[in-house]
Amino acid sequence: MAQAYVAEGMSGMAVFETFFRKLPRTRSYVMAAGLSDVLDFLEAFRFQSDDLQYLRGLGLFADEFLQRLSGVRFTGDVWAVPEGTVVFPNEPIVQVIAPIAEAQLAETFVVNQIHLQSVIASKAARVVDAARGRMVIDFGARRAHGTDAALKVARASYLAGAAGTSNLLAARQYGIPPYGTMAHSFIQAFDDELDAFDTFARLYPGTTLLVDTYDTLRGVDHVIEFAKRLGERFDVRAVRLDSGDLGALSKATRARLDAAGLNQVQIFASSGLDEYRIAALMDDGCPIDGFGVGTNLVVAEDAPALDMAYKLVEYDGAGRTKFSSGKVIYPGRKQVFRRLDHGVFAGDTIGKPDERLNGEPLLVSVMKDGRRLSRHNSSLEAARSRARQQINALPPQLRSLERTDWPYPVDVSPGIARELERLRRARQ
């Protein structure tokens, strides 16, 4: 496409918008994330000589065009909703405004990152909400879809309120608190469970011991035995339950620990957890102090994808649309205006940037002429605190894990509706 644009002399400014069309059945909102990686990518965008060599070998591209590609940089502007913002169908998350070939070349990466991180942040926000203040740790690097996802899942989960990650590389890369516990293999490698506990806990004061390798409650008894053996020097922060009936086992474990005077030892649970199971455990009053959440979070098992797109809405100053069945595009560059009622989101209008509409505009300028604007308020910590505020400002129906029949009100402004109608008539 880029070569065809160049061949036709089409170098006009294009506006592409990234948005999704429909909420999955099990989502009432989406939390936007991934912008930071998109901006890093655009700033660094260039073809390397080995890239150009591969393209040349395909026999599809003229030397003149390849020459041109070697000098391509991203020179455009980007507007976006800040990471951690809650968004709804058809609302632009990222808006790329650039010469059409540049904007087109960015498509795959922009969608890939905004999609993944928004899918995960949306899932993680639900899991964190269900845990009602108990800490949630990302435990899923092993089953995330590849190495990039393993990192981005840790990032997006933390953004959405998780307390940390077991992925040490992600912790290092994003400054997220790392959490680690032993695996069953560690216990298994010793002939005796108590010896394994002893070795690990002496090396790591304040650690967590995994108690379910052979028999959960006997494992708890071994921790108690170890505490007696060490007396005042005993310093274990928590035990972890990783199988069986976590509700019943957490209560029995709490009772045994308390009876032994180990009230300070916390209970950490993992194994097949998601927001529904965590909510059920909390409803049941289970004495669990923290949750390690893996697979269901890191692949967003109940909604692993959004129908996210990157669509041309304006070229060379004119609104652009398409009428493909079920996939109509609203033409023209947009802004989203969000109204609040006593601090609660009351409704959004998708309008033109210059329309006078009620509400706060959500999209802000984040890149100008290919340069990222001041990082003020774009740090991961700022996004995390924004995410918390956004969840707290949601209408209660949307926070419920039950499906709601009440869709959050999102209107399209008269200005955009008129433009769509005008383009529709012009096509007939």
> Residues 127 to 166: which contact its own copies by CB under 8 A?
141-152
For residue 11, the number of C-alpha atoms closer than 13 Å in the C-beta half-sphere is 6
Q: Is 304 in the site for its own copies (CB under 8 A)?
A: yes
For residues 345 and 87, what is the distance between their CA atoms, to the nearest angstrom?
11
In the shown chain, the binding pattern of residues 4 to 23 toward its own copies, with x for contact by CB under 8 A and - for none, equals xx-xx-x---x-x-------
Q: In the complex, what is the shortest distance from the CB of residue 295 to its own copies, in angstroms, rounded to a whole number?
A: 5
Which of 56, 327, 403, 418: binder of its own copies (CB under 8 A)?
A: 327
Between 297 and 336, CB nearer to its own copies: 297
Which of 102, 129, 212, 419: binder of its own copies (CB under 8 A)?
A: 212
For residues 352 and 319, what is the distance between their CA atoms, to the nearest angstrom?
11
Q: In the complex, what is the shortest distance from the CB of residue 241 to its own copies, in angstroms, rounded to a whole number?
A: 10
Between 307 and 421, CB nearer to its own copies: 307
Which of 320, 339, 372, 384: binder of its own copies (CB under 8 A)?
A: 320
Between 225 and 411, CB nearer to its own copies: 225
Q: Is 111 in the site for its own copies (CB under 8 A)?
A: yes
**What is the residue whose two structure tokens read 């069309």?**
21
For residues 160-186, one letter each, b for 16 or more C-beta atoms within 10 angstroms of the residue's C-beta and e for the rest, the string is bbbbbbbbeebbeebebeebebbeeeb
Q: In the complex, what is the shortest distance from the CB of residue 115 to its own copies, in angstroms, rounded to a whole number?
A: 5
For residues 308 and 112, what is the distance between their CA atoms, to the nearest angstrom?
9
- The residues pairing with 7 across neighbouring beta strands, listed in sequence order, are none
Q: Is 251 in the site for its own copies (CB under 8 A)?
A: no
Encoded tokens for 374: 């001041």
Q: Is 116 in the site for its own copies (CB under 8 A)?
A: yes
Asked if 41 and 111 touch (Cβ cutoff 8 Å), the reply is no
Encoded tokens for 67: 């020459």
Q: Which of 76, 40, 47 is nearest to 152 (CA)?
A: 40
Q: Is 192 in the site for its own copies (CB under 8 A)?
A: no
Q: In the complex, what is the shortest distance from the CB of residue 397 to its own copies, in angstroms, rounded to a whole number?
A: 26
Q: In the complex, what is the shortest distance from the CB of residue 107 to its own copies, in angstroms, rounded to a whole number?
A: 7
